[in-house]
A and B are shown apart, each in its own frame.
Chain A
Amino acid sequence: MDLRAGDSWGMLACLCTVLWHLPAVPALNRTGDPGPGPSIQKTYDLTRYLEHQLRSLAGTYLNYLGPPFNEPDFNPPRLGADTLPRATVNLEVWQSLNDKLRLTQNYEAYSHLLCYLRALNRQAATAELRRSLAHFCTSLQGLLGSIAGVMAALGYPLPQPLPGTELTWAPGPAHSDFLQKMDDFWLLKELQTWLWRSAKDFNRLKKKMQPPAAAVTLHLEAHGF
């Protein structure tokens, strides 16, 4: 489409006008507290988006690590990646967790994973990889903020940051390149599992936090049958 400069200015002016009048729109001008529902939904959406983004990043990064890391059936044992927060948990244990614990675990896990990712970004040897990693880090930082927002909305305190986390996650010189690659491989894997788990967590939380009016409606409909 051929858009001239004048068109762009016109669209910008239109956008500004819309933004200016947004407060006047009744639907957006609610004075009542909407509750944590919208922020949970946003966090959930962000999680799904990050899942999508990770798929692309993992492809690029595993190719960078080279074979056999980028082979689909490569499934090595977890070597040297013990410091990574594990996302896998027994179903019963998971069900026994309360919302606060779940959110706290999510928050802590992503804090750690983010530190690790940033260290990864510093080591990446190609500019393209650095861009991808930086972009993903920014998104993950956004997810952390969103989880913090949900926790604040629910009245849960944020977990205290671990002292010297950054240093702990920086790659040590004693680490061999191979173990480093294994760590990277497992980082991506854990990230993926965490994002799955988080999506499940937020979905559960979202359903739980739905306004009671919806429940009444559902009830009436059931009677109708």
Chain B
Amino acid sequence: MMDVSLCWRPPAWTVGEKRMRTAPTLRRLLSALTLLHVMVQVNSQKRGALRDLKCTTNNLQVWDCAWKAPLGAGHGTVNEVCIDDRLHSCYPLEKGNVKIPALPPGDHEVIVNYLHGFNGSSAKFILNEQNVSLIPNTPEILTLSADFSTSTLYLTWDDRSCAFAHHSKVTWEIKVLRTPRMELVNVVTYNTTLHGRDTVHYWRWTSDLPLQCATHYVGIRCYLDHLHFAGPKEWSAWSPLMNISWAPESEAKAFPQDKVVLVGSNITFCCVSQTKVLSGQIGKTFYPLIHLYGQNVAIHIQNISVSENSGTNVVFMIEDNVCGTVVFAGYPPDVPQKLNCETHDLKDIICNWNPGRPTGLVGPRNTNYTLLDSFSGKSVTFKRFETLTNESYQLLFQMPPHQEIYNLTLTARNPLGQSESAILVNITERVCPHTPTSLKVKDINSTVVTLSWHLPGNFARINLVCQIEIWKPNSKQELNITIKGVENSSYLVVVDKLNPYTTYTFRIRCSTEPFWKWSKWSSGKRHLTTEAIPSKGPDTWREWSSDGRNLIIYWKPLPISEANGKILSYNVSCSSHEEVQSMSEILDPQHRAELQLVKDDYIISVVAKNSAGPSPPSRIASMEIPNDDLTVEQAVGLGKKIRLTWPPDPNVTCDYVIKWCNSSRSEPCLMDWKKVPSNSTEAVIESDQFRPGVRYNFFLYGCRSQGYQLLRSIIGYIEELAPIVAPNFTVEDTSADSILVRWEDIPVEELRGFLRGYLFYFQKGERDTPKMRSLETGHSDIKVKNITDTSQKTLRIADLQGKTSYRLVLRAYTDGGLGPEKSMFVVTKENSVGLIIAILIPVAVAVIVGVVTSTLCYRKREWIKETFYPDIPNPENCKALQFQKSVCEGSNALKTLEMNPCTPNDVEVLETRSIIPKIEDTEIISPVAERPEEISEAEPENHVVVSYCPPIIEEEIANPAADDAGGASQVVYIDVQSMCQPQARPEDEQDIDPIVGAGYKPQMRLPINSAVEETAAENDADSTAGYRPQANVNTWNLVSPDSPRSTDSNSEIVSFGSPCSVNSRQFLIPPKDDDSPKSNGGAWSFTNFFQNKPND
């Protein structure tokens, strides 16, 4: 605090006077100040000190002190401030403050004089630099501008206000305020250092709210940090505010427009509108409106998600309008992955890469890529509008001449950022040649060709490694060749060691040294090499014709590997020691020639010719050296092969020849032949022509200098099979106990193998026996003889029974199995002695038995008579017969007599049924219905309710005369339909027990309560109902033979519970006996009928 005091002194002079009389008044002034000081010290308590004294400086040169006048210093006071320094300078006090030049460090006494008329007072205080505040001048904003598209404010100002303080640090504070409430949206500090010049400073700030949405104000102040100033330092005052505002258009507009933002960021959109905004939405989502000022509104989106291809739409709906904008939310480009650069032709480098994570930005905001080679400084750019597949990201970089090493950097950029990836390559090691084209083949000779092809690119500096693939039928070969690269892209190589007259397919691919990648295979090129002369003569054989005059020459066509071309013809010549006798040319498809020779000692030579020339001749001697000790051997092959062996023969000098043919063929027979070297002792013959079960003849010839000698003759089968026929056999002789059988050989073609024997079976048996036992079952009565001697042709079978039929069976067998059987029945001759004995013995036995029996019977005749023939009683004593007679006289109806109990009570009369007037079903009309009326008239009381009439019985009824003649018939059958006619006989139905009358009725016409109704009308209905369901238990009870009611005398008519179905057409007629309470007719049933019928 300043030490301040106030002194009162008399007002004596003005400043001008003081200056004019400085020397004489100095003493007085000092004494006055001393006095003032004393008075201040004395009066300070009563008059008061200076109030609110504050000294400041803004340039360090002048201090500006201000205070409030002390109490008592009234208006109109003339003040003066004097500083008690060496100069003792005084300064007039203006308006309560005084500007004092900066004082040196240390305390300075300042005296303030108040001149008040002729009286005066003074105040004193101690002033030090430490008591002076440094407050810089208010800074001034030079410009404030805005970039509305980026919502950025640009501010410029200079440091003129602080320019005095060289090398001092200045801190600037900038504040941004926003309408409508002038809220402070941002305050930043900005440090600079003063350099003594008026430096212009720049500051930039991006608003989160688009600048168009509200007016933004900016103010600035500063703080000077002067090192050599000891007093306190304070912030300057704020500069006047400057603002930035958007001149709204007549149409509503949304901001920011077409902005690209990072996914997940927060963003505010506003709509500047003159009319009321109703809603705001992003995509489909509506957001709450934030009211700014006027009708302007904003919506705030947090954590925005990635946009679709065309961006995310932000739409504000206004009363009669719409305003909107599009925001593009995406990602900065990912680091390009798998950057790979190679060349196809050493002219262009192709770099491809994977873009990595999609940015979500397409169209003009799509990522663009720049490939830069830092060595050459060249770059290429990749820019696509639309979305691409990963494979499409590639760039073509034209190679500068003679540069091999490249440092390639790929930079990806989009509005949100950039990333890069680099690769250092020696391009000569990264060559993947193009596919070779224009592959051509040219003949040099039949085994050598040249291949030429075109490989685009300039490979003059490197070597190419090419792979030639050579296909020929059934084989493939690959050749690797290294050739020096050329500039003109044409390449030529020679390929040798080919086969003449062979179709080859060539294709080629290339790589470079060092290996990087193969090119694709070129397309294949087919080429047929030219012909060469056949390398060998044809394989030749000769056969003499059967008459021994002609020699037939055979040869085999040359295999393609030896023919070396298309064989056009063969030249056949024969020569003796003297001269060439004949020569003939045989055209190709024919492979035999017949020569007529006068001698048997010739050398035959055969030459094959193609367009390139003749082959070396094949020679063969015509002579055949005889062999006396020739035996025929047997051989059996395996599969389609047959192995032949022979002992070594030193006489054979050139080779062995094995020829073979089918044994059934006539001579000369030749299927094929095979030559084997003279040192061989075996040969395996194989041919597709061989068939199992066929006999082949093999002939082994040895070649000597003069000719061929037949060494061996072998018959053989590739595989033996069972004979397909049985041997024909006949019976040569038959006796009572033996048979002699003779058989014939089986032809070779049907034998199908080497015959190993016969099996002969015989057994007793007749020709007509339906089943002869199988031969294989091994029954004891079948006898078998195995004849292994194949030369045996007869067999005698002994120990047979005379006059017995035998079955004889003969089968042949080979190693391939048993052949079919052939059988024959033979009866042995009769043995006469045995026959006689067989007749005599039975005759003698019969005579003896007869004599003994007769004797016995005679002696016991009385006993036999009493036992077997007792006296018979007289039937006329029986009363039953009389009763029957009287009854029978009163009726012409059918009657019967029960024979068992011979009493009148046991006689039953069975009633016939009445005539039925109406037949409904013509199909089932019973013949009974047409019977004469007298039958029904004679016995009107007889009721037939139900019946079952099998047709066979009806036939009997249809013939009443026969029934009458029969005397008594217990049962009569009528048609079921015929009896169901109650209306024809109403008077009878009065007596009918309704229950009994129910019987069987058709279900379709049956009343439910038929069994309990008692009126006649209902009885009628029941009667006509016919078929009664079986479930009617009451009915069943009535008809049961065991039922008590069935024997009740009141039960006049008993119906039958016959288990007929509705389909049954006929019922059994019950035997009715009104008179007999114990009528067994009540017990009639379906089963009784069958039991009683035999009694008829």
Contacts and interface: CB of A to CB of B under 8 A. Distances in A.
Interface of A: 64-69, 71, 76-77, 79, 123-127, 130, 176-178, 181-182
Nearest to B327: A177
B313 interface: yes
A177 B311 contact: yes
Nearest to A63: B308
Given A67-B284, A77-B321, A126-B386, A176 B313 contact: no
Nearest to B388: A127
B326 A178 contact: yes
Nearest to A130: B386
Contacts of A77: 320-322
Contact of A68 (B284, B311, B320): B284
Given A127-B387, A178-B313, A68 B281 contact: yes
Contacts of B313: 65-69, 178, 181
B308 A66 contact: yes
B322 A76 contact: yes
Contact of A178 (B257, B283, B386): B257
Interface in B310-340: 310-315, 320-322, 324-326
Interface string B285-324: 0000000000000000000000011111111000011101
B386 A124 contact: yes
B310 A176 contact: no
Interface string B252-295: 00100110000000000000000000000101100000000000
B343 to A, nearest CB: 29
A204 to B, nearest CB: 35
A69 B315 CA distance: 10
B362 interface: yes
B283 A126 contact: no
Contacts of B326: 176-178, 181
Contact of A66 (B311, B363, B385): B311
B386 A66 contact: no
Ranked nearest first, the 6 interchain pairs of A and B with the lowest CB-CB distance are: A177-B326, A125-B362, A178-B324, A125-B363, A67-B284, A76-B322
B258 A126 contact: no
Interface in B897-949: none
Contacts of B315: 68
A176 B258 contact: yes
A115 B65 CA distance: 79
A176 B249 CA distance: 15
Nearest to B389: A127
Interface string B360-398: 001100100000000000000000011100000000000
Interface of B: 251, 254, 257-258, 281, 283-284, 308-315, 320-322, 324-326, 362-363, 366, 385-387
Contact of B312 (A66, A79, A123, A127): A66
Contacts of B312: 66
A66 B315 CA distance: 12
A interface: dominant SS = loop
30 contacts: A64-B310, A65-B310, A66-B308, A66-B310, A66-B312, A67-B283, A67-B313, A76-B322, A77-B321, A77-B322, A79-B321, A79-B322, A125-B309, A125-B310, A125-B387, A126-B309, A126-B362, A126-B386, A127-B387, A176-B325, A176-B326, A177-B310, A177-B325, A177-B326, A178-B314, A178-B324, A178-B325, A181-B313, A181-B326, A182-B324
Nearest to B257: A176
Contact of A123 (B281, B321, B363, B387): B363
A77 B323 CA distance: 10
A65 B283 CA distance: 10
A76 B323 CA distance: 9
A57 to B, nearest CB: 15
Contacts of B309: 64, 125-126
Contacts of B251: 79
B366 to A, nearest CB: 8
B274 to A, nearest CB: 15
Residue of A67, A69, A126, A181 most packed against chain B (CB within 10 A): A67
Contacts of A125: 309-310, 362-363, 366, 385-387
| Most chain B CB within a 10 A radius of its CB, from A71, A77, A178 | A178
Contacts of B308: 64, 66
A66 B313 CA distance: 7
A68 B254 CA distance: 16
Contacts of A69: 313
B149 to A, nearest CB: 11
A220 B1087 CA distance: 93
Nearest to B311: A177
Contacts of A176: 257-258, 325-326
A1 to B, nearest CB: 33
B251, B308, B310, B386 — most chain A CB neighbours (10 Å): B310
Nearest to B321: A77
Contacts of A65: 310, 313
A145 B326 CA distance: 37
Nearest to A75: B322
Contacts of B254: 178
A183 to B, nearest CB: 13
B387 A177 contact: no
Contacts of A76: 322
B317 to A, nearest CB: 9
Most central of B283, B284, B363, B386 by chain A CB within 10 Å = B386
A134 to B, nearest CB: 13
A74 to B, nearest CB: 9
